[in-house]
Amino acid sequence: MKVTLEHEKENVVKMDITIPAKDAVDAYNNAVRKISQYVNIDGFRKGKAPRAVIERHVGVDRIKQEAIESLMPRAINQAVADNKLDIITQPYITDYKFNVGEDLTVVAKAELRPEVTLGKYKGLKLEVKDAVIEEDAMQKSLDRLLEQHSTQETVIDRPTKETDIAVIDFEGTCNGEKIQGGDAKNYPLDLAHSNFIPGFAEQIVGKNLNEEFDIKVTFPEEYHDEKLKGQAATFKIKINEIKERKLPELNDEFAQKVGPFKTVDDLKADIQKYLETQRERTNNQNSENEIFKAVIDASKVDIPQSMIDREAHSLREEYKNRLAAQGINWDALVKAQGEDHLLSGLSEDAVVRIKNSLVIDKIAKEEQIKLEQKDLEAKFAQIGVAYGLKPQDLIKQLGQNPEILASISQQAMNDKVRDFLMKNNTVEIK
């Protein structure tokens, strides 16, 4: 077999492959025998029809196609291996010349991995800002804990306060039309933590039990429903019930109730330890990100547009799948917000992801960082915990999806390279 390479634009390599006539003829005859096993020809049993009869029945071109499909995978793989081509797309045939009895010539193309020029990635000295613990962090943590263990008591002798839960009926209209999905009965609205339209919850404060009234609000300009963006709306409200939060007393009895603590001081010590751990974790994450950003910024790579387009398409599908998992219909969202708006910045995100991946692979190659079985097992265990699956069950599921398995392998390699960068660079916390 003879192979001639020609490098084209956008990292595409063209392979002119010549298969000797004898090998081509053998492949052609094998294709005839294979086809004869499943075609029905009057007067012949399957597999017994002569070559000339098979050629007349199915056509010479069909037989040539079968022969090429049997020959080329091994031939192309050999061409790639012999020439040490680092390809990132499956090779595809663009042309061939096949006359039985002569050499078979095939033109195949594939996309090569872009060349990465690394800048300095070891011995860097960087600074990051300390993720200091806010002065009121302890009090906020205690307040949240008390709120989590609060009870609700119905009140009938006063108007609603901004810390209450109001059980309401509401019905909204906009431009004289009822708002689709804009009504409910006995809806418990937390007035202190409402995610309703701005101004909605605030206008319910100070109202009495069984009171009926109207409130006026304006939908935000970035609201997902095109018909309601920036529009004024009116909601009819009825207060059915007012509930007041009752916080427990912060004492030793409460501390014993919420954890393995004897006193409030024990509880506070545990919270302080958690805050310090979070601070350290944030500083480590920020340090890692700062190093990686410096390494990426110092590296150079020309990414072909075809690669960006594929990655952008992949990101688009990931986005659609995430929305589907949340019960959001893609087509309805596109109709409401427009596809350009939803996918803005997708190409830029694709470039970032591609460059990150290429630089990581380059560093791994330069430093001979290789994935080991224990690395993959650790990654499987980490993902298994996140999804509540045993590692063996996760591996079984992933075995049916090679693309996801490859993605997890890449994540594991990312972790190893990032660990390498953390050990070989210095970050000062300021």
Which pLDDT score is estimated for 382? 84
Class of residue 7 by CB neighbours under 10 A (exposed 0-12, middle 13-18, buried 19+): exposed
Sheet holding 92-97, edge to edge: 2-7, 12-19, 104-111, 92-97
pLDDT exceeds cutoff 90 at 17: yes
Q: Are strands 116-117 and 104-111 parallel, antiparallel or unpaired?
A: unpaired
Per-domain boundaries in the chain: 2-113, 151-246, 370-430
pLDDT exceeds cutoff 80 at 337: no
Evaluate whether the domain defined by 2-113 bears CATH number 3.90.180.10.
no
Q: What percent of the chain has pLDDT over 90?
A: 64
Q: Tokens in use for 386? A: 């996140």
CATH code for the domain defined by 151-246: 3.10.50.40
Q: Which residues are CB-neighbours of 368 under 8 A, at least 6 positions away?
A: none
Class of residue 343 by CB neighbours under 10 A (exposed 0-12, middle 13-18, buried 19+): middle
Which pLDDT score is estimated for 286? 96
Which pLDDT score is estimated for 344? 77
Which pLDDT score is estimated for 1? 87
Which pLDDT score is estimated for 173? 95
Average pLDDT value for residue range 85-104: 91
The helix/strand/coil state of 152 is strand
Q: What is the DSSP letter of 114?
A: P
pLDDT exceeds cutoff 90 at 334: no
pLDDT exceeds cutoff 70 at 314: yes
CA distance linking residue 122 with residue 269, whole number of Å: 39
- pTM over 0.85, yes/no: no
Which pLDDT score is estimated for 58? 85
Average pLDDT value for residue range 3-16: 90
How confident is the model over 169-180, as pLDDT tens digits?
A: 999 999 999 998
Q: Are strands 232-246 and 165-174 parallel, antiparallel or unpaired?
A: antiparallel
Which pLDDT score is estimated for 408? 84
CB 316 within 8 A of CB 346: yes
Calculate ∠ Cα 423-426-430, nearest 5°.
135
CA distance linking residue 249 with residue 212, whole number of Å: 35
Across the chain, mean pLDDT equals 90
Confidence of residue 219 (pLDDT cuts 50, 70, 90): very high
Up-side HSE of residue 195: CA atoms within 13 Å toward CB? 1
Q: Which helix (H) or strand (E) holds 361?
A: helix 346-366
Which pLDDT score is estimated for 339? 77
Contacts of range 281-288, beta carbons closer than 8 Å, 24 or more positions apart? 282/131, 283/128, 283/130, 283/131, 283/429, 286/128, 286/129, 286/131, 287/126, 287/128, 287/422, 287/427, 287/429, 288/418, 288/421, 288/422
104 vs 399: which has the higher pLDDT: 104
Which pLDDT score is estimated for 119? 95
CA distance linking residue 331 with residue 325, whole number of Å: 14
Phi-psi region of 94 (alpha: psi -120 to 50; beta: other; left: phi over 0): alpha
pLDDT exceeds cutoff 70 at 320: yes
276 vs 306: which has the higher pLDDT: 276
Which pLDDT score is estimated for 399? 66
How confident is the model over 69-81, as pLDDT tens digits?
A: 999 999 999 999 9
How confident is the model over 22-75, as pLDDT tens digits?
A: 999 999 999 988 888 888 887 777 777 888 888 888 899 999 999 999 999 999
Up-side HSE of residue 328: CA atoms within 13 Å toward CB? 12
Which pLDDT score is estimated for 251? 96
